Amino acid sequence: MKEENKKVITVFSIASFLNDMGSDMTYPIWPLCALPASLIAGVLWVNINKFVPFYSL
């Protein structure tokens, strides 16, 4: 049973390490993905507001 526990702990340790490494690799490039998306959303919002009247109650 102890040998099985060592295998499980080893697999979880490797999975955790790879997960942490992957998130650390994507963190520096995240602004490059998020900035264009927010700019496009802002442009779309302005264009939608030009053509659709905004009614307030």
Residue-wise pLDDT for 1-25, tens only, equals 688 889 999 999 999 999 888 877 7
Give residue for tokens 């030009």.
50
Nearest 5°: the CA angle 34, 37, 43 is 140
Residue % of the chain over a pLDDT of 90: 21
Q: How far is CA 7 from CA 1, 17, 19, 49, in A?
A: 10, 15, 18, 58
Residue % of the chain over a pLDDT of 70: 54
State residue 57's pLDDT score.
Answer: 45
pTM recorded for the entire structure: 0.46
Q: Cα–Cα distance between 42 and 11 in angstroms, integer?
A: 44
State residue 4's pLDDT score.
Answer: 86
